[in-house]
Amino acid sequence: MGYRLRTIYILIPLFVLLFVPAALPAYESGLAENVRSPIPPPSLKVSSWLLMDSRTGTIIAAENQNKLVEPASLSKLMTAYVVFQQIQRGMLGLDEEVTVSERAWKTVGSRMFIEPGDRVRVEDLLLGLIVQSGNDAAVALAEHVAGSEAGFADLMNQAAVKMSLKNSHFVNSTGLPHPDHFSTAYDISEITRTIIQEQPEHYGYYAIPEFTWNGITQKNRNPLLARDNKVDGVKTGHTKSAGYCLVGSAERNNMRLIASVMGDHDERSRANSVYSLLKYGFAAYEFHHLYGNQVPILRADVLKSTVESIPVGISQGIDLLLSKDSGASLEAKVQLSESLVAPLEPGQEVGTLTVQLKDAVLVTRQLIALSPAPSASWLGGLTDSLRLWMR
């Protein structure tokens, strides 16, 4: 009896070791193992999902991030991006009037309820596009900008190339189903990140709670705007074939996250899925802005120069996403060249900066001179020459 009991006692740990890890949810991440949070991301029953840090573009966690899916009305993120880009370039004005075509009016699906022959301001059409998710508004804008929806789709695809999106192709401005119209959770997240970074003056449109046109008031379809005041975007999407999709973004403690869910089974579930990803990100991670571009980190002594020292920094700043409360273990080590001798020019390498977390190297940057160090006269540099000779 005692032998059998000891055998069972040994087999239970073996069973756990062999089978429990396989039951844990696997996920993709762009974070190194030594900076990942021990807290696992939520398990979502959707086609694909992704959680991204907006500032660095770091993928915190994802599943099937590059799986080709129908983006449905999330396509309108690229539609809005292209229109706002035309406005930024001075080629289009918010008060400019658009004549609504019969084709735009007849477009099926969600509607702003514009009428053929109406003259509608670009800004009103953008509100109909973003807040009401109007397919009619999308086509009207596309035809006004490019002359045809097909021409506008070319502009969308050109923008996708400039964003380095490798798995997206757009055929229309609405997101209505088409076999050649597709994207991924990663690409949709990257479009959103580009909007936030490149079009901050227009990003506020995505948080407008409702818009009225033609006597019809429609609420923003993103329910997270009303659930949490830290959520300020971004867009919903749905067709029968695509399922329920949602991209949400929020900012807390100087960290902005983007969460994308594709192919959920109903409206409530997609909202809960995105919100759970955002809550997880803020609970498990923190953002650290360590050094800026061309910002002095220290002053370094210079020999044989008309100046005694120069400011030293890095050309590319350092931003890190780390597991919560690990920032206290960060260390920065500076190694300057043995002797800095004039002349030195701005941008010239003068040493190395290394950032470590518990002895693991996270980032290495070349230190550069941030101002010139002209050579001293022969007499002025004589003392330093003797110092160098005696070393």
Give me the active site residues, please.
73, 76, 133
CA distances from 345 to 280, 311, 354 (A): 46, 12, 23
DSSP label at 384? H
Q: Which residue bears the tokens 């694909």? A: 48
Which residues fall within 8 angstroms of residue 219, CB to CB, at 6 or more apart? 209, 210
**How far is the C-alpha of 98 from the C-alpha of 90, rounded, in Å?**
16
Q: What DSSP element (H or E) covers 102?
A: helix 102-106
CA-nearest of 286, 240, 243, 278 to 259 is: 278
Q: Measure CA 240 to chain center.
A: 28
Instruction: Report how far residue 46's alpha carbon sits from residue 273's, in angstroms, rounded to the nearest whole number.
Output: 9
**How many CB atoms neighbour CB 294 within 10 A?**
15
Placement of tokens 């596309």 in the chain: 142
Q: Which residues of 103-140 are buried (b: 16+ CB within 10 A; e: fewer)?
A: ebbebebbbbbbeeebebebebbbbbbbbbbbbbbbbb
Name the nearest CA neighbour of 369 among 342, 350, 353: 350
For residue 230, the 8-state DSSP code is T
Gyration radius of the chain over CA positions: 28
The torsion angles phi and psi of 268, rounded to 5 degrees, stand at -65, -40
Torsion on CA atoms 211, 217, 219, 220, rounded to nearest 10 = -30
Exposed/middle/buried for 331, CB within 10 Å: 0-12, 13-18, 19+? exposed
